[in-house]
Chain A
Amino acid sequence: MVQVFPYAVGDAMSQTPIYTEYHPRWYRRRTSTYWWLRRPSYLVFILRELSSLFVAWFVVFTLLQIHALKEGPDGYQRFLDWSKSPLVLIGNSIALFFVVFHAFTWFQLAPQAMVVRLRGKRVGAAWIAGANYAAWALASVLVAWIVLRE
């Protein structure tokens, strides 16, 4: 039989906890606000989470572009001029870095989440990550072809 103390499963300790001879007074450590600086892998994780903001920014940027298209040639030219301004360029460069970082970290993690079997055997991690990168490259080439063709 497992005895469950409410404060052991996360509930707050009462003001007057009952101590016994064998469980006199537990010491509960608080997680520091800066826990994510404690080790590099935690920091990479937090940066990956943060990168979602930049992904969202590119969605907003695309919506603004579509909106500008709707306003005709003048409106679109205004959008292009605005997007050439140093502030937007710097912002977009930072956003691009984070979006690439986001994609890269997720492709590295993909083999853990995906179980693919071929003829009864599990496909290796390198193949799954490789397939993701290949799809990424293919999609990039396709977009580049559409954008750059005369």
Chain B
Amino acid sequence: MADTITLRVTRYRPERETEPTFQEYQAPCRKDWVVLDALNYIKDKVDGTLSFRWSCRMGICGSCGMTVNGEPKLTCATFLTDYAPGPVRVEPLRNFPIVRDLVIEMSAFMHKLVQVKPWIIRVDEKPLSAGEYLQTPEELDEYKQFSMCINCMLCYSACPVYGLDPHFIGPAAIALAQRYNLDSRDQGARERLDLLSDRTGIWGCTFVGECTKACPKNVDPAAAIQRYKLRAALEWFKSFLMPWGTR
């Protein structure tokens, strides 16, 4: 039997509690175990009532984001030994309403994702017979980094702007919009501009930069937002100089 580690886990059972409390559990602290393994151990062997989201266990699905010792983390990629001898504090992601225990409510985020139209928009659709929309490796490099997002919402949890204003479209959704704006096959930048250049869009961002630090996939949402600010400012300047030209 390996050493054990104490986990202080947020419990919130809305049918009997008005606000979250902590519950302590003991779990084996194995060298190859991540926080999610410990939670699954607790769920299977100690307390089956503990609720949390998870799926792939390998940093692809983005379901197991939680706050570990105050930091937003994918619990499938956060090793217990890094927190030995403990205790490890496991809380739900910050800045989202809690549904139960470690489960947060994410419909606001899902709504924002759809709003930024994250798909390739074409003004002039080519006929099938004309073949694929080709792209050079350089054109792929333009947006590839921003396409690595797994929608884990760690960036929203790290962002104080989102914490203060839930209307803020937020890092991941703007980075995703930028992923399509920078795609050479896409022609929808103008359609996304109005939503993104709004107060709740890029201009809500004050460049705290925490989203980039929290991102487990090196997407760098802060860079996407700043680059978009530059672009939006240029668009505004162009429409100011040539009001008849761009719109």
**Once bound together, how far apart are the Cα atoms of A10 and B107, in whole Å?**
11
A-contact 0/1 string along B195-220, CB 8 Å cutoff: 00000000000111110110000001
Which residues of B line the A interface, CB within 8 A?
A: 12, 14-15, 19-20, 70, 94-95, 97-99, 105, 107-108, 110-112, 114, 138, 160, 163-167, 206-210, 212-213, 220, 222-223, 226-227, 229-230
Q: Say whether A27 faces chain B, with CB atoms less than 8 Å apart.
A: yes
Which residues of A line the B interface, CB within 8 A?
A: 2-5, 8-10, 23-29, 31, 35-36, 38-39, 41-42, 45, 49, 109, 112-113, 115, 120
Classify the secondary structure of A's interface with B: loop
Which A residues lie within 8 Å of B138 (CB)? 120
Q: What is the chain B residue whose CB lies nearest that of A39?
A: B70
A30 nearest CB across to chain B (Å): 9
Count of A-B residue pairs with CB < 8 Å: 85
**Once bound together, how far apart are the Cα atoms of A2 and B113, in whole Å?**
11
B82 nearest CB across to chain A (Å): 18
**Once bound together, how far apart are the Cα atoms of A68 and B202, in whole Å?**
41
User: Is B98 a contact partner of A42 (Cβ separation < 8 A)?
Assistant: no
User: Is A112 a contact partner of B222 (Cβ separation < 8 A)?
Assistant: yes
Q: A27-B12, A42-B160, A112-B209 are in contact. Are A10 and B167 (CB under 8 A)?
A: yes
